[in-house]
Amino acid sequence: MTFMDAVNGLLGGLLIGVAVTLMLMFNGRVTGIAGIIFGLFSLDRRDFLWRLAFLGGLILSGALGAALFPQKVGYAFEGRFSLGYMALAGFIVGFSTVLGSGCTSGHGVCGMSRLSRRSIVGTLVFMFSGFLTVAVMRLLGILNT
Amino acid sequence: MSLGVSTEGRVMSNQNTLSQAKENVGEIAVSFISGLIFGVGLILSGMTQANKVIGFLDILGSWDPTLMFVMGGALGLHFFTYRWVRNRYPKPILVTQWQVPTKVQLTPALFLGTFLFGIGWGLAGLCPGPAFVNLGSGNRHIWVFVVFLLLGQGAFYLLDKAWKINR
């Protein structure tokens, strides 16, 4: 990590804070991205479009990013992880973020800001299992160059 | 919520999507802008790069603490703006009530779910936000990840319909 990485991290984090504040102030909602996606499944007409609009905003930012800063988007492990591996990881993330009521944005940013006990515990648990998982990947040689 | 029957979405099944869009155009616009800003924040911070996320989780390798700065920025701001918004506004600007989670119980589902989430997050270096942002790059690995993320949520949706899981 360079000094500029830290500065950009802090600035990017502030922008994320702005985005979740807008969502709360105008729409009265937390910006838990897994929850925003999961809400689509109920096909609630009242609720469907703002969810799509939020996800559309995310995707548009990625498309703009790909055009302007191609080194910042895409996937660095293309050559290392198979598509089956990606499918497994994606399925786990999808299932678990509903079972556990949140992801990095819902628990980590929104819930921790409210000092929600569930989110503080949830964030500690997924940080712990994240460290553990990558340590195991390192030991198994999945990450070795 | 501008509609009396709004929580019962299916009540309005004869209403078309276009008129629904007019009904809450403000909410939809704010959501889009919020998504865009959130995505720009993720890109600027480097958190759309899975190698930086795995780098943060990789304590046995060359540890990359960038994620702490990102969380610091987001939490540092929203810790105060959350309180400010809730004190300043009796209700949200565009809808009639707050929809902030209020549950306090620490359930087995919370522990199991967040533990599993950390595994998936570590395996690919992707959580839902960065995965959706990266869809915009058209990368095939990302598309597979997101399709299976949706399938995983769909699987939960069906299980929950059958057994009503206490989350």
Residue of chain B with shortest Cα separation from A137 = B123
Q: Cα separations (Å) of A126 from A15, A96, B46?
A: 23, 10, 20
The reported pTM is 0.93
Q: Is the CB of residue B37 less than 8 Å away from at least one CB of chain A?
A: yes
Closest by Cβ to A97, choosing from B37, B117, B160: B117
pLDDT in tens, A68-111: 988 888 899 999 999 999 999 999 999 999 999 999 999 999 99
Assembly ipTM: 0.97
The tens-digit pLDDT sequence of chain B (167 residues) is: 344 444 444 444 445 677 767 778 999 999 999 999 999 999 999 999 999 999 999 999 999 999 999 999 999 999 999 999 999 999 999 999 999 999 999 999 999 999 999 999 999 999 999 999 999 999 999 999 999 999 999 999 999 999 999 99
Residues 6+ apart with CB under 8 A from A135: B58, B59, B60
Distance CA A73, CA A64 (A): 10
Please report residues of B whose CB lies closer than 8 A to that of A62: 39, 43, 48, 132-137
| Of residues B47, B40, B73, the one with CA closest to residue A10 | B73
Cβ within 8 Å, pair B9-A110? no
| Touching A: B residues 69-128, CB under 8 Å | 69-79, 81-82, 85, 89, 91-95, 97-101, 103-106, 109-128
